[in-house]
Amino acid sequence: EVQLLESGGGLVQPGGSLRLSCAASGFSFSSYTMSWVRQAPGKGLEWVSGISVGGGSSTYYADSVKGRFTISRDNSKNTLYLQMNSLRADDTAVYYCAKRYCSGSNCGGFDIWGQGTMVTVSS
Amino acid sequence: DIQMTQSPSTLSASVGDRVTITCRASQTISSWLAWYQQKPGKAPKFLIYKASSLESGVPSRFSGSGSGTEFTLTISSLQPDDFATYYCQQYNSYPLTFGQGTRLETK
């Protein structure tokens, strides 16, 4: 079964750090672009960051997290990471990892999502 | 950045109705658009890619259309399980962006 399982969320003080993990199973993890998407309580979806296939030589960030968050992947462990530094109250959200859809030459959108992990930034 | 605007924000409808949700992009995105359904407390579900291609397993009452800057998601005959929030998302360029969502509620 194709599955993504996030972990690492929790309560952190403003200015603090947290590292999220996303364990993938059931598909060839290294062959897919992966992303993090978040959703603040009662709000819509916001794409946060993405990383390219293979070694992840290309990374992409939303302006709201650029310079504070770092995405990475360990293909030997089938795991995606999000290192979050200098956290702010407006980073409070459920964080989802998501697999990019790709079938032949049709690639785009996210076909597999994890269950999400909650990050709360508060003193 | 490409902004995605959905309308309406809320849609009231009844089982059996035909409903349409519109998504507009602030610049052309060709057909690089996806649609998702989300229910409270759950992760989004992938419905449509490339503006009009139905993901495997998604009921045929869902359909998408459009290209360039204007897109629609249509549900031909609403079923009880379809009441949820729907999001469009462009993948023409980074940063990827979502619409603000359309909440489909029971009339």
A83-92 pLDDT, tens digit each: 999 999 999 9
Q: What is the mean pLDDT of residues A22-31?
A: 97
Interface contact flag, B32 A111, Cβ < 8 Å: no
Cα distances (angstroms) measured from residue B2 to each of A44, A92, B32, B95: 16, 24, 12, 8
Question: A118: pLDDT confidence band, cut at 50, 70 and 90?
Answer: very high
Residue A59 sits at the chain B interface (C-beta within 8 Å): no
Cα distances (angstroms) measured from residue A103 to each of A1, A45, A106, B53: 17, 24, 5, 12
Interface contact flag, B100 A106, Cβ < 8 Å: no
Residue B94 sits at the chain A interface (C-beta within 8 Å): yes
What residues contact residue A79 under an 8 Å CB cut-off, 6+ apart? A21, A22, A23, A24, A73
Q: In what order do the strands lie in the sheet with A18-25?
A: A3-7, A18-25, A79-84, A69-74
* CA distance linking residue B54 with residue B59, whole number of Å: 8
**A62 contacts in B (CB within 8 Å)?**
95
Give the pLDDT confidence score for residue A9 in this predicted structure.
Answer: 98
Statement: residue A105 has pLDDT above 90 = no
E strands, chain B, are: 4-7, 10-13, 19-25, 33-38, 45-49, 53-54, 62-67, 70-75, 85-90, 97-98, 102-106
Statement: residue A56 has pLDDT above 90 = no
What is the mean pLDDT for each group of 10 consecutive residues in chain B (107 residues)?
Answer: 98 98 98 98 98 97 98 98 98 98 97
Give the pLDDT confidence score for residue B104 in this predicted structure.
Answer: 98
Nearest CA in chain A to B89: A109
